[in-house]
Amino acid sequence: MKYGEIKVGEIQGSKDYEDAILLLAEEFPDHRDTNLFYQYEFLLIAKKSNEVIGMITANKYLPRKALLCDIVVEEKYRSAGVGIKLLKEMGIYLRERGHTHLLGFTPKNNKK
């Protein structure tokens, strides 16, 4: 897969939404009943063709700063640049909305 084949943007309909919630729930089962639009202020998805292969979520944290909540990439597309592209595009998306920082935390036991 080529980096240019990955398109990042907002959810554009019910299929994108359903695919995104399924992807998130696969990684974090407690999100199965989450309303993405209610829970997250900022949400982008990564698509290859018409398939949602990744997503990134964030919320306001402090004035002009946002906190990364989740970043998920379908397992078969990991280590192919999808996560990096999601982070980069979220940074651009937030900057366009007046934010200066995107903060995030990783659990200590996350070796990947």
Segment 22-53, tens digit of pLDDT: 999 998 898 888 899 999 999 999 999 889 99
- C-alpha–C-alpha distance, residues 49 and 1, integer Å: 11
Residue 80 lies in a domain: yes
Residue 69 belongs to a domain with what CATH number? 3.40.630.30
Residue 30 lies in a domain: yes
Residue 48 lies in a domain: yes
Burial class (CB in 10 A: 0-12, 13-18, 19+), 69: middle
- Indicate the pLDDT class of residue 105, thresholds 50, 70 and 90: confident
pLDDT for position 10: 96
Give the global pTM: 0.90
Segment 46-99, tens digit of pLDDT: 999 889 999 999 999 989 999 999 999 999 999 889 999 999 999 999 999 999
Residue 108 lies in a domain: no
Burial class (CB in 10 A: 0-12, 13-18, 19+), 45: buried
Question: Strand, coil or helix: what is 28?
Answer: coil
Residue 60 lies in a domain: yes
Answer whether residue 15 shows pLDDT above 80: yes
Residue 109 lies in a domain: no
pLDDT for position 111: 65
Residue 110 lies in a domain: no
Into how many domains does the chain fold?
1
Residue 33 lies in a domain: yes
Give the range of the structural domain holding residue 56, as residue numbers without chain letter: 3-103
Taking only Cα atoms into account, the Rg of the chain, rounded to an integer number of angstroms, comes to 13
Answer whether residue 100 shows pLDDT above 80: yes
